[in-house]
Amino acid sequence: MTSIMCARALVRDLFDNPVAGARLMSQGLTGLGVLACISTPLGGFLTDLFGWRVALTFLAIVSSTLLFLLFFWLEETLKYPNPNALKPANFLKTWRSILRNYTFWSFSLLQAGTYAGLFIFLISSSFLFIRILNISPTVYGLLMFSMSASFIVGTLICRRLLLRFSIPQTVAIGGSISLIGGTLLIFITVLEIPGLMAIMIPVYLFILAHGINQPCSQSGVMGPFPRAAGAASAWSSFIMVVITFGVGYLMGLFMGDSIYPMALGIWFCSIFIALVTWLVVPHAACRSVDLN
């Protein structure tokens, strides 16, 4: 989470235009989706072949290599650092300005809502598919590969939409797709339509919308804060973690040998996302705020 927070701040340092930042964010998330496409089936393959310890060891090696590269090659992106930024009084002033900002809350709620839907699927799908549907870890990894591919398509669509529409219009489209996917999933669940793909097709739609909404929301939370992008990113991440923690706790209480908790959770998230993108985000104007 810390690395993601810092990456968002880097984008805000480099781009003053929120639309340009959202487009670059979508490119970064496309790369993240490609890595997810590779790593998920690779993790399942390593687990099947050598056991889970080897999979975690491989992750540790890759992470250490990445840390080494960042330490020696990543340059500072903030052009004019504020030497007083870490003083407690400035901290409080910055946080107060962020938490009172309507635009920040609009995109933070969107970011948390769309991530919560993804989180619901991630924490419940492995149990449902492997334990109940008897899918092997390797097949489950390939299933996650296809889900990551759907996310990549969403980020590519996001970039195309931002060439023609504003950020509020783009996330409104994403919110509509989220609602279609969540509603379709609940209908399939209630009607008990059999088959793995019957479950996955609505999920693909929701994840595709996730690929549209996430770049815009991550750029939007930092748009009004050119000199406090890191703080805005950190607070939005904190809000997202708190909400997903609550969602995970509720899923732990209600999840059993049924798809209903997952379907209802994703459906509720899709309704929330649609309401935020249709009613809340359109009133958010990304304005730069001087916090010095």
Q: Is 46 inside any structural domain?
A: yes
In which domain, by residue range, is 237 found? 2-61+102-282
| pLDDT at 263 (0 to 100) | 92
Q: What's the rounded mean pLDDT across residues 90-95? A: 82
Residue 242 predicted with pLDDT over 80: yes
Confidence of residue 255 (pLDDT cuts 50, 70, 90): confident
State how far the Cα of 8 lies from the Cα of 230, in Å rounded to an integer. 8
Q: Is residue 68 part of a domain?
A: no
pLDDT of residue 33: 65
Is residue 93 one of the residues assigned to a domain? no
Task: Give the pLDDT score at 284.
Answer: 76
How far, in Å, are 55, 130, 150, 161, 267 from residue 165 at the CA level?
Answer: 42, 41, 22, 6, 26
**Cβ contact 214:162 at 8 Å:** no
* pLDDT of amino acid 50: 83
Higher pLDDT pick, 41 / 167 = 167
291, amino acid identity: L
Of residues 208, 220, 113, the one with CA closest to residue 156 = 208
The reply to whether 6 falls in a domain is: yes
292: confidence class by pLDDT, cuts 50, 70, 90: very low
What does the angle CA 267 – CA 44 – CA 205 come to, to the nearest 5 degrees? 25
**Which comes out higher in pLDDT, residue 226 or 224?**
224
Asked whether residue 73 is domain-assigned, the answer is no
286 pLDDT higher than 50: no
Tell whether 127 is covered by a domain: yes
Name the most confidently modeled range: 18-22, 196-200, 208-212, 227-231. Answer: 208-212
pLDDT at residue 147, rounded to an integer: 85
Residues 169/175/181/183 CA torsion (nearest 10 deg): -120
Q: Higher confidence at residue 285 or residue 254? A: 254
> 216-242: b or e for each residue (b if 16 or more CB lie within 10 Å)?
bbbbbbbbbbbbbbbbbbbbbbebbee
Tens of pLDDT, residue by residue over 5-16, are: 566 666 665 666
Q: Alpha helices of 163-228 — where are they, by DSSP H?
A: 167-191, 196-222
One-letter amino acid for residue 2 of the chain: T
As a whole number, the mean pLDDT across the chain is 82
Residue 291 is predicted with a pLDDT of: 42
50 against 81, higher pLDDT: 50
In angstroms, the CA 221 to CA 219 distance is 6
d(CA 269, CA 202): 13
Domain count, the chain: 1
Give the separation between CA 200 and CA 195, rounded to whole angstroms: 9
Identify whether the C-beta of residue 228 lies closer than 8 Å to the C-beta of residue 80.
no
Looking at 27-41, 65-79, 119-133, 180-194, which range is the least confident one? 27-41
Higher-confidence position of 225 and 158: 158
Higher pLDDT, 80 or 206: 206
User: DSSP states of 273-291 as a string?
Assistant: HHHIIIIIGGG--------
**103-107, 133-137, 189-193 — most confident range:** 103-107
78: left (phi over 0), alpha (psi -120 to 50) or beta: beta
Q: What is the pLDDT of residues 59-78, one digit of tens each?
A: 899 889 888 887 777 776 66
Encoded amino acid at 87, one letter: K
The CATH number given to whatever domain includes residue 255 is: 1.20.1250.20
| Across 221-225, 233-237, 270-274, 279-283, least confident range | 221-225
Is residue 78 in a domain? Answer: no
- Within a domain: residue 79? no
What was the pLDDT predicted at 20?
A: 63
